[in-house]
Amino acid sequence: MTENRTPMRSRVAFAAIAILLLLLGAAAGWLWQGRGKDASSIAVADRKAVEGVVREYILANPEILPQAMQNLQRRESAKLLANVRGDVETPFPGAIMGNPKGTVTLVMFTDYACGYCRQSVPEVDALIAANPDLRVVVRELPIIAPASEDAARWALAAAMQGRYHDFHQAIFAAGRPDAAAIEAAARTAGLDVERARKASTDPKIDQEIARNMDFARQLGVTGTPSWIIGDQQLFGAVGRDDLGKAIAEARNQAG
């Protein structure tokens, strides 16, 4: 697992190949419909003709590929989410931002050593400000650096004190986490530091981190930041505009 720089290029490439094969198969079926022949009996020359037709169509209508890839990715995401949506949208007590009673839920997998997660902080804040019905469920996924888990544990300890958002902001503002930065962020966030230190070793926190790792495996999350909104999974620092569109779509689907 790594820091997500781009929206999962390997998945997009796989989807593009799958879509091209589907287009070729559909074109071959159309070409040979009514001729009593299947795709295996098509001569090499005829196959090249089919491929040429598909290629020309795609070149003339390139917008169909991203549209088809998006639809395919949504279908796959919906399948993966079907069995875990309720659980993955249920936060560790207190590890939530925005409106706790909001009707639209954005799930964010994050790591405090992730530079792209840090870049996403103002984007998420802007989305919260623009969407009063938005609840942001944060799932700690400490996968990048040795200090990632310590920071995640203190974040969950902050949630136990009702100071999650404050610590989340403070530790990202501190830069790369280490013991000094974590304790300084705890003080900035107004935590009872000794209480938080003790809580960071609570078995409940062990269970939460293990649970988030399991969610990541089930959903194919291999880096941070990663996002779930409605039936969509988004990967990487996708930005406010794309997240905002996904939030609007989820709201419309729910309504």
pLDDT at position 122 is 96
- Domain extents in the chain: 2-78, 85-254
pLDDT at position 71 is 59
Question: In this predicted model, which residue has the larger pLDDT, 54 or 98?
Answer: 98
The CATH fold of domain 85-254 = Glutaredoxin (3.40.30)
Mean pLDDT of 88-109: 97
Q: What is the pTM (predicted TM-score) of this model?
A: 0.74
Q: Is the pLDDT of residue 237 over 50?
A: yes
Question: In this predicted model, which residue has the larger pLDDT, 229 or 54?
Answer: 229
pLDDT at position 81 is 76
pLDDT at position 190 is 98
Q: Which residues contact 238 (CB under 8 A, 6 or more apart)?
A: 7, 227
Phi, psi of 101 (to 5 degrees): -105, 15
Q: Tell me the pLDDT band of 207, cut-offs 50, 70 and 90.
A: very high
Provide Rg for the chain, Cα atoms: 23
